[in-house]
Amino acid sequence: MTKTPQQQQQQIDDLFILTRSVFVDLPLAGIQWQCGVGKKEVVTGTAWKGYDAGVRLATAAMDNLYRFPLTAGVLSRAAPVLLRWQRINNAATGAVFTGLWQIVGLSTTAETRALREAIARLAADIRFQ
């Protein structure tokens, strides 16, 4: 769970790169590009550099979070509850939309499928005649 000095230094460097990119380099490159002094490629490169540093920081943060024992405990307790809520939500949604379809007069999937089969049979009968 402890980080090596290289990992710590990389995270500090990434934080510095991200901060400098967002607050200094990117605005400066954008102003230069708008004034016709700089190039669009410089703005794009600066934005990607900041983005890459931000992604590395976010990845390291998520890795650290998942290595923390409390996270495993919370997720192991939360998963069954979330799955129960998902089943309840699916059941409620099915009940609401079934009632809504009947009220509005929309056809259900089964009715649409039966209609398609009937049309296909009629088309086959017509071709046969």
- Indicate the pTM of the whole model: 0.53
Q: Is 46 in contact with 72 (CB distance < 8 Å)?
A: no
φ, ψ at 106 (rounded to 5°): -75, 145
Give me the pLDDT at residue 12, please.
Answer: 92
Alpha-carbon separation of residue 35 from 20, 47, 65, 79 (angstroms) = 21, 18, 44, 54
pLDDT (average), residues 12-17: 93
Tokens of 72: 């495993």
- How confident is the model over 62-82, as pLDDT tens digits? 888 888 888 888 888 898 999
pLDDT at 1 over 60: no
Confidence of residue 101 (pLDDT cuts 50, 70, 90): low
What is the domain partition of the chain in residue ranges? 1-67, 80-129
